[in-house]
Amino acid sequence: MRRTEIILSIILMVISITIFILTYQFPQQTVALPPTAFPRFVSLSLWVLSLILFLQGVKEIKKTSLEKVPKLSKLNKTFIVKLVVMIFLAYFYTLLIRIVGYVYATPPFIAGNMLLFNEKRSTLVIITSLLVTILLYILFKMVFKVPLPRFSLF
């Protein structure tokens, strides 16, 4: 866990330095509070805090010295694969829904997620994905009059 904290703190330090540098692209304005002021204050503070986290992580690692990084169990590997699949599934849903619309994109998305949650009953998967799609369609489109993405391939 401390190793992850060290990596995250380095990432945060890089982000905060990048933000600080990017503020030099803002126009220099002689107003009471220029647009650079707040982002610079926040990015500098973030950099300092990330450094503190980094030092805390290093101190802990020195204390516990040569702890071996435990190997990932089979269950952990399964979870990581499923998590990545879920994220990609969600990403493709956002791409697909723009083209084929809510009605056609949503059932496969729900079905895919049910399978990721270890649902093995195929009838239940099919029925649930269709039923939920229809119910949410009724709720959003008909009850709350919220327009949903429509088929727009052509």
Q: Is 147 in the site for another protein (CB under 8 A)?
A: yes
Q: Is 97 in the site for another protein (CB under 8 A)?
A: yes
Q: Count the neighbouring beta carbons within 10 Å of the beta carbon of residue 28.
A: 8
Build a one-symbol-per-residue string for 67-86: x at contacts with another protein by CB under 8 A, - elsewhere.
Answer: --------xx-xx--xx--x
Phi, psi of 142 (to 5 degrees): -95, -40
Q: Is 34 in the site for another protein (CB under 8 A)?
A: yes
CA dist 145 and 33 (Å) reads: 43
DSSP state of 141: I
Among 10, 12, 58, 126, the residue binding another protein under the rule CB under 8 A is 12
Angular region, 18: left φ>0, alpha ψ -120 to 50, beta rest? alpha
Q: Is 31 in the site for another protein (CB under 8 A)?
A: yes
Among 14, 29, 59, 122, the residue binding another protein under the rule CB under 8 A is 29
Could you tell me if 17 and 43 are in contact, meaning their C-beta atoms sit under 8 angstroms apart? yes
Structural tokens at position 5: 């904290």
Residue 75: CB minimum distance to another protein, A: 5
Torsion of CA 21, 23, 24, 27, to 10 degrees: 170
Q: Which residues bind another protein (CB under 8 A)?
A: 1, 4-5, 8, 12, 16, 19, 22, 26-27, 29, 31-35, 38-39, 42-43, 45-46, 49-50, 52-53, 56, 75-76, 78-79, 82-83, 86-87, 90-91, 93-94, 97-98, 102, 106, 109-110, 113-114, 116-119, 124, 128-129, 132-133, 136, 140, 144-149
